[in-house]
């Protein structure tokens, strides 16, 4: 997977944007940055697309900008000259794909059937857009269609919103989803960039799915650990589970047998994707201590601590199972 596609995977969501006035591009880029989602697919569905790409790229270089609805090599050339870093097409267009592959330009062509996928493989591609996703049967169709192609990854687009986003992202062959619900053109035309920021932040929060896994309390020894766990269990009618390094009351309270990370203990936050969460934290300036990472057998991160303590508690992320 090329570096651009890896960045897209870590974003998890690509805002698909139809823009009528190129002057709106700069405040739009700012809204996406503030919403924690600095990535944009500007579609060539309007005459303003080329200048909109140019404006975002020049004023907000931290935004990963691509061009969508690209149907000709001329579109590709204009988009790349304007600063676009990737190309998205609605269907599989051989001249467009050939030009992009020949010039080392990241291309995500639209595919809706096995024939399209096999064409993509002939061009050496490993990522395509499944479009229009919901109209063509949604996730069930994607799973069935992709079964013979273990090497191929997908960016479903079309009919995706808050109600089905995580269903798609939970499928291991999906690297990201394209959607327009947080960047509707009527919001852009009305100058409601604060609402776009809110919706982008809401989309990121939904995708990451942060939730409390448990709270760890540092005890001095095994005896004190058991007393703490047992007291919580008695008050809140929870079962006690004894372990080698800690005792649990239910699943939420962990009493550690000795001083662990954090002055008072630690708080574990579970997430749908540690990789995407770490990338999000990097974007907002929160540091993660990768030296603390624990990994699954396949090498993916199972848990990792933040570098800072909050209120005397260390904080670590846990991958939801």
The residues assigned a catalytic role are 41, 129
* Contacts (Cβ under 8 Å, ≥6 apart) of 251: 214
Using DSSP bridges, classify how beta strands 253-257 and 240-242 pair: parallel, antiparallel or unpaired: unpaired
Burial, 66: exposed, middle or buried (Cβ in 10 Å; 0-12, 13-18, 19+)? buried
Taking the C-alpha atoms of residue 298 and residue 218, their distance in angstroms, rounded to an integer, is 31
Do 177 and 204 form a contact (C-beta atoms < 8 A)?
A: no
Quick one: tokens of 226? 């058991």
SS3 readout for the chain: CCHHHHHHHHHCEEEEECCCCHHHHHHHHHHHHHCCCCEEEEECCCCCHHHHHHHHHHHCCCCEEEEECCCCHHHHHHHHHHCCCEEECCCCCHHHHHHHHHCCCEEECEECCHHHHHHHHHCCCCEEEECCCCCCCHHHHHHHHHCCCCCCEEEEECCCCCCCHHHHHCCCCECCEEECCCCCHHHHHCCCHHHHHHHHHHHHHHHHCCEEEEEEEEECCHHHHHHHHHHHHHHHCCCEEECCCEEEECCCEEEEEECCCCCCEEEEEEECCHHHHHHHHHHHCCCEEEEEEEECCCCCEEEEEEEEEECCEEEEEEECC
């Amino acid at each position: 997977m090329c570096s651009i596609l890896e960045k897209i995977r870590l974003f998890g969501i690509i805002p698909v944007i139809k823009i009528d006035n190129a002057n709106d591009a700069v405040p739009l880029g700012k809204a996406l940055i503030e919403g924690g989602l600095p990535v944009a697919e500007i579609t060539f569905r309007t005459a303003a697309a080329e200048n909109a790409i140019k404006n975002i790229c020049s004023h907000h270089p931290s935004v990963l900008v691509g061009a969508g609805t690209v149907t000709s090599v001329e579109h590709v050339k204009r988009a790349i000259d304007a600063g676009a870093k990737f190309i998205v097409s609605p269907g599989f267009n051989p001249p467009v794909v050939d030009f992009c592959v020949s010039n080392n330009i990241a291309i995500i062509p639209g595919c809706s059937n096995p024939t399209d996928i096999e064409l993509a493989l002939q061009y050496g591609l490993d990522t395509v857009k499944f479009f229009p996703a919901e109209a063509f049967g949604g996730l069930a169709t994607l799973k069935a269609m992709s079964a013979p192609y273990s090497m191929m990854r997908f960016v479903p687009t079309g009919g995706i919103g808050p109600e089905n986003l995580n269903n798609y992202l939970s499928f291991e062959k999906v690297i990201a989803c394209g959607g327009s619900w947080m960047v509707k053109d009527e919001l852009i035309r009305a100058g409601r960039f604060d609402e776009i920021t809110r919706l982008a932040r809401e989309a990121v929060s939904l995708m990451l799915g942060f939730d409390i896994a448990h709270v760890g309390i540092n005890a001095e020894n095994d005896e004190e650990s058991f007393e703490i766990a047992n007291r919580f269990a008695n008050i809140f009618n929870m079962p006690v589970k004894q372990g080698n390094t800690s005792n649990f009351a239910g699943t939420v309270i962990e009493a550690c047998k000795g001083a662990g990370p954090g002055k008072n203990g630690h708080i574990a936050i579970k997430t749908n994707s540690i990789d995407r969460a770490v990338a999000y934290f990097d974007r907002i300036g929160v540091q993660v201590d990768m030296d603390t990472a624990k990994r699954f057998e396949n090498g993916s991160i199972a848990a990792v601590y933040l570098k800072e303590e909050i209120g005397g508690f260390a904080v670590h992320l846990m991958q939801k199972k």
